[in-house]
Each structure stands twice: as C-alpha cells, then as structure tokens.
Amino acid sequence: MENLNQEIEKKEKELRKIRLAFLNILEDTQDAKDWAVEEKNKTMAVINNFTDGLLVIDHENKIELVSPTIEKLFKEKKENILGKSIFKINFKKIKLKPLIEILKKKKEVYRKEIELGEGILLEMTTAYFDFGKRKGILVVLHDISKDKIIERMKTEFVSIAAHQLRTPLSAIKWSLRMILDGDVGSINEDQRDLLEKTYTSNERMIGLINDLLNVTRIEEGKFLYKPEKMQMEGIVVNVIQDSEDVIKMKNVSVKFEKSKKLLPPVVIDEEKMSLAIHNLLDNALKYTPEKGKIAISLEEKDNEIVFKIKDTGVGIPEDQKERIFTKFFRGSNVIKMETEGSGLGLYTTKNIIDSHKGKIWFESEENKGTTFYFSIPV
Amino acid sequence: MSKKVLIIEDDKFLRDLLGKKLSSLGFDTVLAVDGEEGLEKIKTEKPDIVLLDLILPGINGFEVLEQAKKDPSVNEIPIIILSNLGQSEDIEKGLSLGAKDFLVKAHFTPQEIVKKLQVFLS
C-alpha cells in the first residue's frame, strides 16, 4: 500500500512536470503564433502602405496578392482581381496587354516602361521567387504618369522659350549684318570692329540656343529622327569642311586619315551624327593651342566602326574625368581659358552615340592632349 | 521687270528689315502680318515667290501653305518657309506640304536669304 502511494506520488510529480512542459510548449507555440501574426501584419502594413503597386502571381499564374495601390492603378476592386489568372483577366478601364506580354517572356525586368492606356504610364519591375513549395512572381508597378506630364511640360517650355528667343536674336543678327554690309551707309573701322564683335556674340547666343534645343530633344526622346544606312567617311569630311574657317583662324593642323579599305556602311541619323562629330572637333579646336595638331581617323574593328580624334590640347584634369559627359559640365582648366562653351557638347554627343547603340570613351593627360573615341556597330 | 516677293511675317522689325533689304536690291516687296492676310495676298498679288513664317497669329504658316497648294490658281508659286522653328519634324512637314525650302531665321543673314530666293526665281 505504502509502495503504491509512493508510486502514485511519483507519477503525479512526473505528470505535473509534463503538464508544465506542455504548458511551456503551448506558450512557446502561442508566442510563435503571435509573432507570426505580428510579422504578417507588419508585412501587410508595408504592402498596404507601399506607394508602388504590388502584385504577387503564383506558379499557376493566379493573382495571389493585390495591394491597394494596384486597385487604384487598375481601376478595379480587389475582389475582381484576386484569384484570377493574370493571362485571362480583362479589365474595363485599362489594357493589361503590355504587362502580360512582359510576363510571357518569363524574364525579370527592371523599371520597364509600359503604357496601360491613354496617359497611364507605369514602370514595371518583376522578381521571380522560389521557396520550394511556393513559387511565383512579384510585380512592382510604379506610376510615372505625372512625372511624364511634368517632363513633357518642361521640355515643351524649353522648346517654346528657345524658339521665342531666336526671334529677337534673328532681328539683332539681321540688322547688324545689314549695317556691316553697308546697306544703310558706310561705317568707320572702329564701328565695324565693335559691331563685328557684337555680331560674334550674337552668333554665340544663337549657337547656345541650338545646344539647348538639342538637349531638350534628347530628353524628349525624339532625338534619332531619321536613321539611314550610310558611310561615315562622307560625314566626317563634311564636318571638317564646315569648320574650315575656324581651323584656319586657329592655325591648327587637322588631318583626317581615311581607312585604306572601304568601310561597311552603318545605320545612322546623318544630322545627329554630324552634330556629334562636330562637337568633338569643336572641342579639339577650342582647347588645342595654336600650331597644335588634331588627327582624326576611322577604322573597322570587331564589327564596329571606330572614330578617333586626337588632339594636342590642354587635356582633362584627372579628378574631373568622371563628370565629363554630364550636362553643363566644363573642365576647371578650360573655364580659366575663357573660351566660350555651354557644357552641353559632350553631353549631347554621348546621347547621340548612345542612341546609335554605340560607345564613347577617351584618354587624356593634362597639357598633353586628349583622344576621344566612339564606336558604332556595323 | 522686278520680281515680286511676298513676306508673311508677324514680327514688325524682321518684316521691315527684310523688306528694306529686298527693296534695296530691286525687288518689289509685299508684306503681310498674319496668315489670313498672307493667304489673301498670295491670291490677289500673285507674287513670284513667298517667304512664309510658321508661328503666326490666327491661321499658322503650315495652314497657309496647305491652302495655297490646294488652290490651282496659285499652287505654282514657290513658297519658302522662313521660321524660327526648325526641328526635323517641322522641316519634314513643311517640305511635304510643298514648301521649296526651309530656312531657320537665326541661321541666315538677309543676304543669304536673298541668295536662296534667287535660286528659285531663276
């Protein structure tokens, strides 16, 4: 009997221990559950308050998660989106086709611009995930409709302003020219000298406005207007010819070394390519002292046409090389030289080369010279 | 007989400068300050050549060009656009509507404009 009692007591103790252990486990589970719920709430709070639209599509192409921003972007209630196949869904107010086309390619995209209807412009980013059992795609949609409107207004403004500026400048140009040409009577040498200088300043202003207009066009994305298959050589020859007066005035030798064999034609926009080459030559001329040398060459290399322009000019300071292609940038050494310049030439040139799917680079040493290269795929 | 040039230009100073230059070189100049007047003078004055601005009050230069080219009584008269627009699209549009040439005002001196006129008059 005593044994039995002892045994029972022992068991009871054990049971108490087990109970405690269970309670502990239960508590841990509850904690874990609470934690999971809290995490979920946190994630949902992030998703619900995310300014970009978030969409999760599962491995069966069903839409699994929709953030409130998506409802706004798609102009549809959550209930009409959730659980449906992304490939079969049809909305009244927007066209999902561009988005679906991208998903069909099964490749991740980063900030790809898509238009889901009149003036509805989005940037789409996708990320594929695979957590073993759970596979799918996360789609992030960033609304850029407003940005686009503002950008367009900005470029339109600059464009109109530039056209308006040209009118008074034309008037100044025409009247100065007529005075200088003696159309309104003779002028003395001092007057002529002064007026010639005024005329040159005015021409500079007209040139500056042209640069600004070109930059605006680049930013409008309308820059490549007429790509055609043609030889680069003729363009280079023409650009050099157009600068003949400046070349003579600067007393700098400009040599164009033509390729020995006939180069294959490339697809280029003649006007823009001329501008790109003109800007490079113009810089070389501006920043190369008298009696300096400029050598230009064209050659074919690895299915590319490589243009090279080497000068014996002032060079680009080492610490500024990174910024050379940025808008309005001018080297500290050339600002001191007081040569005019807008800081738009290389920016424009780089954009032109980029839009031809080409590359541009340079080598430079201060007070020795600079070589600019660009290549265009054949 | 001197050649008659119609200048359609809304800016008074530019209009007068060019008119003066052309008159001094023996041209007979007719001036118009906007699109309506320009179109009317193309028809009534029957000039030998027209210098046409694009940004004009009322109907713009493109419309003047289009309407002039539609009218069989005047569609043979050469029209040269002289404007401060000058983007590729504008040039393309002007030429496709039948303009003989497209000159950006700020890029030409009066003398150079006259040279261009003479090319189309001879």
Scanning every residue of chain A, which has its alpha carbon at the shortest distance from the alpha carbon of B11? A167
Give the percent of chain A with pLDDT over 90: 41
Instruction: With respect to residue A2, please indicate whether it lies within any of the assigned structural domains.
Output: no
The SS3 of residue A74 is helix
Of A110-119, A328-337, B104-113, the one with minimum mean pLDDT is A328-337
Q: Residue A181: which of B55, B85, B111 has the nearest Cβ?
A: B111
CB contact under 8 A, A226 and B88: yes
Residues of A in contact with B106 (CB under 8 A): 166, 169-170, 173, 206, 209
Average pLDDT over every residue of A103-130: 89
CB contact under 8 A, B106 and A217: no
The percent of chain A in helix, strand and coil, each rounded to the nearest 5, is: 50, 20, 25
Query: What gap in Å lies between CA A209 and CA B104, rounded to an integer?
Result: 13
* Per-residue pLDDT, A222: 62
Q: Does A33 touch chain B (CB under 8 A)?
A: no
The last residue of one of the domains, among A126, A143, A160, is A143
Sorting pLDDT into bands at 50, 70 and 90, what band is A123?
very high
> What CATH number has the domain bearing residue B85?
3.40.50.2300
Q: Chain-wide mean pLDDT for chain B?
A: 93
CB contact under 8 A, A167 and B110: no
Residues of B in contact with A178 (CB under 8 A): 17, 20-21, 110
Q: Compare B122 and A32 and report the one with higher pLDDT.
A: A32
Instruction: With respect to residue A267, please indicate whether it lies within any of the assigned structural domains.
Output: yes
Instruction: With respect to residue A288, please indicate whether it lies within any of the assigned structural domains.
Output: yes
State pLDDT tens for residues A163-192.
Answer: 788 999 999 999 999 999 999 899 999 999
* Per-residue pLDDT, A353: 93
Domain check: are A194 and A92 in the same one? no
Scanning every residue of chain A, which has its alpha carbon at the shortest distance from the alpha carbon of B103? A170
Sorting pLDDT into bands at 50, 70 and 90, what band is A141?
very high
Q: What range defines the domain where residue B56 resides?
A: 4-121
State pLDDT tens for residues B44-97.
Answer: 999 999 999 998 888 999 999 999 999 999 999 999 999 998 877 788 899 999
Query: Is 80 exceeded by the pLDDT of residue B108?
Result: yes
Q: Does A204 touch chain B (CB under 8 A)?
A: no
Domain check: are A109 and A162 in the same one? no
Residues of B in contact with A177 (CB under 8 A): 109-111
Interface with chain A: mutation pick from B22, B93, B105, B108, highest number of A CBs within 10 Å: B105
> What CATH number has the domain bearing residue A191?
1.10.287
* Per-residue pLDDT, A94: 84
Q: How far is CA B73 from the centre of its chain?
A: 17
Other CB atoms within 10 A of residue A156 CB: 12
Instruction: With respect to residue A320, please indicate whether it lies within any of the assigned structural domains.
Output: yes
State pLDDT tens for residues A18-76.
Answer: 999 999 999 999 999 999 999 989 888 888 888 899 999 998 889 999 999 998 888 88
- Distance between start and end Cα atoms, chain B: 13
Instruction: With respect to residue A232, please indicate whether it lies within any of the assigned structural domains.
Output: yes
Domain check: are A344 and A254 in the same one? yes
Scanning every residue of chain B, which has its alpha carbon at the shortest distance from the alpha carbon of A159? B85
Scanning every residue of chain A, which has its alpha carbon at the shortest distance from the alpha carbon of B90? A225
Chain B interface residues (partner A, CB cutoff 8 A): 11, 13-14, 17-18, 20-21, 24, 55, 84-85, 87-89, 104-107, 109-111
Q: How many CB pairs under 8 A join A and B?
A: 54
Q: How many distinct structural domains can be found in chain A?
A: 3
Query: What gap in Å lies between CA A264 and CA B72, rounded to an integer?
Result: 47
Query: What gap in Å lies between CA A67 and CA A202, rounded to an integer?
Result: 57
Task: Kindly provide the ipTM of the predicted complex, given to two decimals.
Answer: 0.90
Scanning every residue of chain B, which has its alpha carbon at the shortest distance from the alpha carbon of A224? B88
Extract the tokens encoding A336. 């001191």
Query: Is 80 exceeded by the pLDDT of residue A224?
Result: no
The last residue of one of the domains, among A83, A109, A143, is A143
Instruction: With respect to residue A271, please indicate whether it lies within any of the assigned structural domains.
Output: yes
Name the strands in the sheet holding A63-66, side by side, starting at the edge strand that comes first in the sequence. Answer: A63-66, A53-58, A134-143, A121-131, A112-115
State the smallest CA–CA distance between residue A345 and chain B in angstroms: 18
| pTM for the predicted model, two decimal places | 0.59
* Per-residue pLDDT, A46: 86
Which residues are CB-neighbours of A3 under 8 A, at least 6 positions away? none
Q: How many distinct structural domains can be found in chain B?
A: 1
Other CB atoms within 10 A of residue B95 CB: 13
> What CATH number has the domain bearing residue A360?
3.30.565.10
Name the strands in the sheet holding B101-104, side by side, starting at the edge strand that comes first in the sequence. Answer: B28-32, B4-8, B49-52, B79-83, B101-104
The last residue of one of the domains, among A178, A199, A220, is A220
Q: What range defines the domain where residue A203 resides?
A: 148-220
* Per-residue pLDDT, A337: 76
Extract the tokens encoding A278. 């003109």
| Per-window interface: A 144-173 vs B, CB < 8 A | 159, 163, 166-167, 169-171, 173
Extract the tokens encoding B24. 């001094």
